[in-house]
Amino acid sequence: MTVTRRTAIGIGVGAAATALVGTELGREWWFDREPASPPPQNGQGKLVWRNWSGSASGYPSVRAAPNSEDALVDLLRKTPAPIRPVGAGHSFTSLVPTDGTLLSLDQMSGILNHDASGNRATVWAGTRLGDLGPALAAIGQEMLSLPDINKQSLGGALGTATHGTGEQYQALHGSVRSFRLATAGGDILECSAQQNPDVFFAARVGLGAFGVITQVTLQNTAVQRVRKRTFVQSTEKTAAEWNSLCAAHRKVEFFALPFTGLSAVVTTDPTDADVIPRGADLDTESLMSLKRLRDLCGWIPPLRRRLARSALTGEPEELAVDDSWKLLSNERPVRFNEMEFHLPREAQMAAMLEVLAAIEADHREVFFPLELRSIAKDEAWLSPFHERESGSIAVHAYYKDDYTRLFAQIEPILRRHGGRPHWGKLHSLKARELEALYPRWRDAMNVRQSLDPQGRFLNPYLRELFIHA
């Protein structure tokens, strides 16, 4: 059989096309395979509990959801330890896994009462932030600050020092004026700056290890209309302008996109303009496009950079005008794992550039942006923002990607710049290292010991955090 030149070329082109499609589909399969899961039940027939990202899991022997403080107190006296409160399971660290009692406050949810003139509201700690927004709006109030995601419970968000952004805005726990704490001994303590002040300052960011916060009185603000702008510019320019951006806008954050040289900057400022509702979820679309770009040409960084820049450069800015609580938080339906450290604000940009360089040198698998925010200092003893104006750097890994090598390389950079870890996000620090970062650490530990001498709220992970080996 004679093979003509045209046939040979056709076969060659066909083979190349098949190889290209096959390679692409193979890479897709490789990158999109589901990570291994723990068994749905253990040998004793207990159901698995797993956090949102899948990074932590356990098999609690008891799952409890009391519907009142009395029921909670009764439970705390006799239920098997470790007792671990769970909100929405959005912490990436192993704060929750227990083979004792998994305690949900889902049935202790909603607004108890409010003070219209002072914009204060007392809220059950089991209330999810996504439900709290409209509930507060119905009484003309909104929270002063909101995190990027609104799925968390109020108690979980406060206990891990969850935060939003804004040079003048404290993390969520900064708005707490008082709370009620159910202790391991079955007491209810009223806590504020005037009443049980040591417990107020120690347990406000308490990781669910001091007791169970049941009710919280929040200092809110009247509902405010804001203009939210999102625009893309070079990361170099954003880093150079960061201080002036923070000073010029009520709230600002940016997402630095590795392998592109670009950042998406998000500013939020008060306005009286007519409502422009937030549109379709372009963040998720953009994120998955960055994933496709990683999948296709992650192994050729210059091509990846050129494609991303041609797709993103010159994009018109996104604009939305609405009540603040509707625009500050996002759905974030793509699951991920996260490390976040809070640095002295003056160290934030240098650390960010170092982290970006490390990712671009050694971690071509990364397609999630870094998230950069600013947070005002506060007084809570275990707050990562304790007495320090802070700038945060968050590094994300797709939940199907192995994050261990990435986070192990990034953490030393963030620590070298003076970072304190977010309590709900992945880090490797233990009691000895943490004590060196928190001036009131010993005071907080003494309060915890006095409230829970038997350590009924401590699981193995918390023992490593709080008790020296």
Partner 1 sequence: MRGWLVGCFVFSCMLCGCSRESPPSPSEAARAATLRPADERLAALYDHSCRACHANAQANAPLSGDRAAWLSRLKKGMPELVRNVLTGFNGMPPGGQCFTCTPADFEALIAFMSKDMP
Interacting residues toward partner 1 by CB under 8 A? 21, 24-25, 28, 34, 37-38, 40, 47-52, 54, 57, 63-65, 86, 88-89, 102, 104, 106-107, 109, 128, 130, 151, 280-281, 284, 288-289, 292-293, 295-297, 303, 306-307, 310-311, 331, 333-335
Shorter beta-carbon distance to partner 1: residue 1 or 280? 280
Shorter beta-carbon distance to partner 1: residue 316 or 333? 333
Shorter beta-carbon distance to partner 1: residue 111 or 239? 111
Buried b vs exposed e over 365-389: b needs ≥16 C-beta within 10 Å? bbbbbbbbbbbbebbbbbbbbbebe
The two structure tokens encoding residue 468: 């020296």
Shorter beta-carbon distance to partner 1: residue 58 or 384? 58
Question: CB 447 → partner 1: shortest distance, Å?
Answer: 28
Q: How far apart are CA 51 and CA 228, in angstroms?
A: 31
- Which among 253, 273, 272, 271 has a CA at the least distance from the CA of 263? 253
Question: CB 7 → partner 1: shortest distance, Å?
Answer: 26
Shorter beta-carbon distance to partner 1: residue 65 or 358? 65
Shorter beta-carbon distance to partner 1: residue 133 or 421? 133
Pairs from 280-288 (Cβ < 8 Å, separation ≥ 24): 281/330, 281/331, 281/333, 282/318, 283/330, 283/332, 284/331, 284/332, 284/333, 284/334, 287/334, 287/367, 287/368, 287/369, 288/334
Please, is 356 exposed, middle or buried when counting C-beta atoms within 10 Å of its C-beta (0-12, 13-18, 19+)?
buried
Question: CB 151 → partner 1: shortest distance, Å?
Answer: 6
Shorter beta-carbon distance to partner 1: residue 10 or 39? 39
Question: CB 401 → partner 1: shortest distance, Å?
Answer: 14
Q: How far apart are CA 96 and CA 284, in angstroms?
A: 28
Question: CB 106 → partner 1: shortest distance, Å?
Answer: 5
Question: CB 46 → partner 1: shortest distance, Å?
Answer: 12
Question: CB 108 → partner 1: shortest distance, Å?
Answer: 11
Question: CB 113 → partner 1: shortest distance, Å?
Answer: 21
The two structure tokens encoding residue 244: 């002036």
> Strands 318-323 and 225-234: what pairing?
antiparallel
Shorter beta-carbon distance to partner 1: residue 65 or 353? 65
